[in-house]
Amino acid sequence: MASATLSVDLKALAANWQDLNTMADGKAAAVVKADAYGLGVAPVAKALAWAGARDFFVAVAEEGAILRKTLGKGPRINVFSGHMEGDTKLIRDAKLTPMLNSVDQMLRHVEALPGHPFGIQLDTGMNRLGMEDVEWSALRDLALAQKPTLIMSHLACADDPDHEMNAQQRQVFQEMTQGVTTPLSLAATGGTLLGSDYHFDMVRPGIGLYGGLPFIDARPVVSVDIPVIQIRDVAVGETVGYGNSWTARSPSRIATISAGYADGIIRAMGPQAHFYAQSSAVPVVGRISMDLIGVDVTGLAEEPTHLELIGSHQSVDTVAGFADTIGYEILTSLGARYTRVYN
């Protein structure tokens, strides 16, 4: 079989959520947007619900409708993008809870779905989603009279515990919600790790559930193993791959493996990247192409039948570093061609 294998450890995923839930002063939700960060929303969400999660977050209403079919009636499914034009039927039928981001969204929601649950998202300095202070001040009394389920904001620099923006946003959030009895939420994974001052009533971990930084104590969730299609001898002076970008300086054994940038192995990783044959690191040679990668397996005691990209020897964040990116991008870029195994 030439397809690479993407394995997801659902027990580790559930344990990561439980650890973060225990850490939280209030309760922990679970962020499963982007098809559960590329890992498959149905098995991931079921495992998280089994672990105890009752509040879930998705990016858009379409994701929420899919998630509702998986989870059934019980859990609350919150939508970060709010109530967009055209979302009304999905929000009503799938019983979604939009996080309203503007006056326009507020008016759309209360007019189209009076009495339907909603939350509020506030902008505390990230300038991405949410109502700014002037907008919130004008809308606050009306919004609170409708009894929102949650008021939330999002930290811009939580991955850096010493960044002054964290305390600044917390202060703004406290000022904007002073006197409010509605449940409050500010922290995702990074904010959860900042400590109880950032927890309020709910934390919303995402990347930490899937084994990514900044949750350094997370259990590994993902492994990626790629089959070797062919191994060949390459003589001194011969080249490998497009553009003749790698030239053999000594007699070499080069494995061609069955994956490439179509599978989320970013082309820019190039010569910085390496794989593992059991406990031995083996470097990429030549350019990463759409479906194939050359790897130097010279000197291995045994010829490998597959190579590990992510697993016990290197994390998703290590792999992300090969392309100067973050683990989020690697996870969400993993393509549809992997044989997916859930255990």
Residues annotated as part of the active site = 33, 242
What's the token pair of residue 267?
């082309």
Nearest CA among 262, 241, 220, 180 for reference residue 3: 262
Over the range 205-236, which residues count as b (16 or more CB within 10 Å of their CB) and which as e? bbbbbbbbbbbeebebbbbbbbbbeebeebee
Q: Backbone phi, then psi, for 229, in 5-degree steps?
A: -85, -40
DSSP state of 131: B
Computed on alpha carbons and rounded to an integer, the radius of gyration of the chain in Å comes to: 23
| CA torsion, ordered 160, 161, 162, 167, to nearest 10 deg | 110
End-to-end CA distance of the chain: 20
Instruction: Judge contact between 297 and 304, C-beta under 8 A.
Output: yes
Question: How far apart are alpha carbons 85 and 106 in whole angstroms?
Answer: 12
Q: Three-state DSSP class for 137? A: helix
DSSP-based three-state secondary structure for 226: strand
Q: Is the peptide bond before 161 cis (omega within 30 degrees of 0)?
A: no
In angstroms, how far is CA 2 from the centroid of its own chain?
27
Give the whole-angstrom CA distance, residue 222 versus residue 224: 7
What is the C-alpha to C-alpha distance for residues 157 and 297, in angstroms, rounded to an integer? 40
Check residue 122 and report its DSSP letter.
B
